[in-house]
Structure 1
């Protein structure tokens, strides 16, 4: 059961990393074109907070497994 949760946590982390990267590219494009990137930056911060939660959850699972 915990190994399945670990695999799911790793998938969430991988997807979160991609979301962050994609959003950073969007922000760079907005800035390059002179568009307001305020909302995009806010969303990026939300992605980063969520990513930290994913990592903390994964680390918790690893501790429970003794890894």
Structure 2
């Protein structure tokens, strides 16, 4: 069960990396065209927090698996 959860969490992290890059590129594009970026920055902050939670979850699972193996 933990291995499945780890796999899913790692997929979420990988997807998050791509989504963060897209959002950052969008913000750059909006800036370049002098558009308001406040909303896009708020979304980016939420995405970063979500990514942090996924990373925390992955690290917790890895610690649990490590404890099980010892």
Q: Could you tell me the TM-score, scaled by structure 2's length?
A: 0.93
> How many pairs are equivalent?
67
Shift of 1:31: 0.1
Alignment of 1:42 with 2:39, yes or no, is: no
Alignment of 1:53 with 2:56, yes or no, is: no
Runs of 4+ off more than 2 Å: none
- In structure 2, runs of 5+ residues without a counterpart are none
- In structure 1, runs of 5+ residues without a counterpart are none
Cα deviations across residues 7-49 of structure 1 (Å, max 9, x unaligned)? 0000000011111000000000000000001000000000000
Q: Could you tell me the TM-score, scaled by structure 1's length?
A: 0.97
Larger radius of gyration: 2
Q: How far apart in 2 are the matches of 1:5 and 1:49?
A: 20
